[in-house]
Amino acid sequence: MDAPESRSSLRGDPPASPASETPSLDAASSPPQTLRSRRSPPFSCGLPFSVEPVLFLSMFSLALQIPLCTQYLWDRISADLGYNGTRGGGCTNHTGPPDPLQKEVETLTAHWSLYINLGGFAVGLFSVTLLGPWSDRVGRRPVLIFPSLGMALQAVVYLLVMYLQLPVAWFLLGRLLSGLSGDFSAVLAGCFAYVADTSDRRSRTFRVAVLEACLGVAGMLASIVGGQWRRAQGYINPFWLVLATNLATALYAYLFVAESVAPDKEARLFSAEHYKAVYRLYRSPGEQGRRAKLWLYAVSLFVVVTVHFGAKDLYVLYELSSPLCWGSALIGYGSAAEHLTYLSSLASLRALQVCLEDTWVAIIGLVSNIAGLVVISLANTMALMFTGYGVRFLAMATTPVLRSKLSKLVDVSEQGALFASVACVESLCSLVSTGFFNSLYPATLHIMKGLPFLVGAWLLVIPAAIIGALRCREVDRDYYLFSVADRLPLFGMHRSS
């Protein structure tokens, strides 16, 4: 092993697999080999169009429709059962017995939300793991276009339910149709795989962080627009915007996004080889413990994303109830502060990369997240709650580092399979976090109201330990290799031999 390759390991880059040891991939400043075969889209004007707008628009439509769908379910079920009450916060002085009709509405709304999410996840699990490896053969653009059209079809079904007052069970049909096309998870996998195709190893972490910042900004704008628009005009007009946004996403991907993979015209969509590609990704040993690293980084990502989703679900409940008793205005400001974490993490990651390796940036992000959750768990005033949000300013710097490290561990022909599996992991995180944290919160109210946030903080110690241990192992290996290389001249041998 020559000295330059060892020094690249000391910078924190994982070793390249034999399949990726080509001059175009080893050089940190040169683009991947797939760029040589990029095809121009139908309308190419020389501008560097990329996939950030695709992810932004898809996330905007998703973040716009999810809360509206839940509220519509509540209103429709209330109307069907004859319940005309309102949803109260946790600061009312009502001491009488709970309204049984309200409890039935809450139960049915929760059940239908669970059925819809589980249906989309079950179907999407098979379609995403099919489309991701397929995109390694035919290109990324189909995996950006088809799911967007499927999400548009889901919006059409939802609009028909609202116009025709169909039973809410039709929402499940729309969700299944979207899941068959890959849903948002396929868009997520396609966008991250595209960035891996079009970025070099040195800039990949920042490019991934830009995509995650798009998720945060789109979610913040959608939460502001959706709530205000529903109060002013009801549900139908916002869902027309969801439909238009998904169609615009598919049109942008078709017209402006250049293909990053040389297409194989003989590749078939319905083939068991695509599922085998995902299986082989985590089963083949690879060089220098690649399989173990893939599993450990995937577990770290699972824990980080699960805690993120779980804590995010509880913020509003925590703020509505005593002792904070926030109104809608303060809750909106809190949501904006939480989403601004994406932008502050992006700027901080860019600054820290000047003097620190990605591994240490990820650990600093975890420390920021842990400290913020601890402060929030103890928050009993508005100032302390916003202090917790502020302390978490680097919380979203960890996930782009983990995605980047996973991407660098696989070959250029496996990026679609990798990010398809990562998208499925994140969908599973959403279900696990909802079940775990939403059950833990009411169960621990009599002990400590903020205990779920403390549990989340303790869980984040697991990925911090994994990332730190893997880095220490890389340092020990590099130290051993340097020591062996330094002893070679004693035996009349040169390092390059």
**CATH number of residue 430's parent domain:** 1.20.1250.20
Asked if residue 409 has pLDDT above 80, the reply is: yes
Asked if residue 172 has pLDDT above 70, the reply is: yes
Whether residue 194 is found in the same domain as residue 144: yes
Asked if residue 23 has pLDDT above 80, the reply is: no
Whether residue 238 is found in the same domain as residue 374: no
Whether residue 428 is found in the same domain as residue 365: yes
| Across 6-15, 352-361, 436-445, least confident range | 6-15
Whether residue 241 is found in the same domain as residue 316: no
Whether residue 258 is found in the same domain as residue 291: no
Q: What is the mean pLDDT of residues 198-225?
A: 89
Whether residue 431 is found in the same domain as residue 478: yes
Q: What is the mean pLDDT of residues 447-451?
A: 91
Whether residue 235 is found in the same domain as residue 329: no
Asked if residue 481 has pLDDT above 70, the reply is: no
In a domain, 379, yes or no: yes
Asked if residue 468 has pLDDT above 80, the reply is: yes
Provide the 10 A C-beta neighbour count for residue 170: 14
Q: What is the mean pLDDT of residues 198-227?
A: 88
In a domain, 246, yes or no: yes
Band (pLDDT 50/70/90 cuts) for residue 45 is low
| Structure tokens given for 400 | 């782009």
In a domain, 415, yes or no: yes
Whether residue 138 is found in the same domain as residue 193: yes
Share of the chain above pLDDT 90, in %: 42
Band (pLDDT 50/70/90 cuts) for residue 157 is very high
Opening angle at CA 176, ends 76 and 147, nearest 5: 115
Query: What pLDDT is stored for residue 22 in this prediction?
Result: 37
Q: What is the mean pLDDT of residues 401-405?
A: 94
Band (pLDDT 50/70/90 cuts) for residue 21 is very low
Provide the 10 A C-beta neighbour count for residue 181: 24
Band (pLDDT 50/70/90 cuts) for residue 40 is low
Asked if residue 149 has pLDDT above 60, the reply is: yes
In a domain, 275, yes or no: no
Asked if residue 318 has pLDDT above 50, the reply is: yes
Asked if residue 369 has pLDDT above 60, the reply is: yes
pLDDT in tens, 250-263: 999 999 988 888 87
Domain's final residue, options 228, 262, 296: 262
In a domain, 38, yes or no: no
What is the sign of the dihedral through the CA atoms of 86, 92, 95 and 98?
A: positive
Asked if residue 86 has pLDDT above 70, the reply is: no
Backbone angles phi, psi at 416, to 5 degrees: -65, -45
Query: What pLDDT is stored for residue 298 in this prediction?
Result: 95
Whether residue 323 is found in the same domain as residue 243: no
| Across 51-65, 110-124, 183-197, least confident range | 110-124
Asked if residue 490 has pLDDT above 80, the reply is: no
pTM over 0.75: yes
Q: What is the mean pLDDT of residues 92-105?
A: 65
Band (pLDDT 50/70/90 cuts) for residue 39 is low
Whether residue 257 is found in the same domain as residue 291: no
Whether residue 143 is found in the same domain as residue 205: yes
Asked if residue 472 has pLDDT above 70, the reply is: yes
Query: What pLDDT is stored for residue 333 in this prediction?
Result: 82
More confident of the two residues 317 and 69: 69
Domain's final residue, options 209, 227, 262: 262
Opening angle at CA 369, ends 368 and 370, nearest 5: 95
| Across 312-326, 337-351, 441-455, least confident range | 312-326
Share of the chain above pLDDT 70, in %: 82
Distance, in Å, from the CA atom of 363 to the CA atom of 32, rounded to the nearest integer, reads: 28
Distance, in Å, from the CA atom of 20 to the CA atom of 34, rounded to the nearest integer, reads: 12
In a domain, 27, yes or no: no
| Across 59-63, 84-88, 170-174, least confident range | 84-88
In a domain, 276, yes or no: no
Q: Which residues pair with 418 in a beta bridge?
A: none
Domains of the chain: total: 2
Q: Where in the sequence is the domain holding 116, given as residue range(s)?
A: 44-86+103-262
Whether residue 156 is found in the same domain as residue 192: yes
Band (pLDDT 50/70/90 cuts) for residue 44 is low
Domain's final residue, options 208, 227, 262: 262
Distance, in Å, from the CA atom of 432 to the CA atom of 122, rounded to the nearest integer, reads: 14
In a domain, 32, yes or no: no
Distance, in Å, from the CA atom of 1 to the CA atom of 122, rounded to the nearest integer, reads: 46
Q: What is the mean pLDDT of residues 211-226?
A: 87
Band (pLDDT 50/70/90 cuts) for residue 339 is confident
Distance, in Å, from the CA atom of 117 to the CA atom of 292, rounded to the nearest integer, reads: 31
